[in-house]
Chain A
């Protein structure tokens, strides 16, 4: 089963609105990463948040991590058409492993 699972699977909003995606995981983690994938392209790293951090910002992106709930959220503010993409969270499968496990992603569509 997937370590990270995104919710919702698909999200459609109007340009200028904020988009929020969530990721839940099952076991304790060292850190959690978010990636973006534009259609037909490889994944692009967005942000890494460590297990001892609660919030992190990068431009219009805000990531929160709640280790007690084993969940993370990615907020994109003031969305643009170029934000249309799939967004994936990735975590280490367990604290002893050295491999990332990706969720199935949230498909975000920004409507003009």
Chain B
């Protein structure tokens, strides 16, 4: 998977608890992305980063925050998890802008919020 790992791979949590998902890359790519995948919605962009400490919102950013303090790590935080955030979360990276370059995806994290 192009040197991308996600942790944890599976997590079950309760409503109202904070959750942090980690994406780690060894490719030194500038751009990193967080998507969620739900039946009937395909992949939707949550947040993305275009460099260390440089992030921007995606299509479905409400309820999520991100941080990127190092090139290789991109963290996704759910401050107070809700059942609607039950989903499969994918991290992706690209060397250049996603619209001009292929993206490489991690294996995904399956999150269940009870």
Chain A contacts of B42 at CB under 8 A? Answer: 2, 88, 102-105
A-B CB pair tally, cutoff 8 Å: 60
Interface size range on B against A? 20 to 34
Chain B contacts of A33 at CB under 8 A? Answer: 102-103
Contact residues, A24-79 vs B (CB, 8 A): 30-31, 33, 35, 40-45, 48
Contact call A42/B99, Cβ cutoff below 8 A: no
Contact call B43/A102, Cβ cutoff below 8 A: yes
**What's the nearest-Cβ distance from chain B to residue A10, in Å?**
13
**What's the nearest-Cβ distance from chain B to residue A43, in Å?**
4
Chain B contacts of A43 at CB under 8 A? Answer: 43, 90, 92, 103, 105
CA distance A44 to B50 in the complex (A): 21
Which residue on chain A has the smallest CB distance to residue B96?
A: A98
Other-chain contact of A41, B45, B97, B103, B107 (Cβ < 8 Å): B107
Among A35, A42, A100, A104, residue most surrounded by chain B Cβ atoms (within 10 Å): A42
CA distance A92 to B59 in the complex (A): 13
Question: B1 interface residue, CB < 8 Å from A?
Answer: yes
Beyond A35-B103, A42-B4, A101-B45, 13 additional contacts (C-beta under 8 Å) are A30-B100, A40-B108, A42-B1, A42-B108, A43-B43, A43-B92, A43-B103, A48-B101, A98-B98, A99-B98, A100-B45, A104-B40, A104-B41
Interface residues of B (CB under 8 A from A): 1, 4, 35, 40-45, 48, 50, 58-59, 90, 92, 97-108
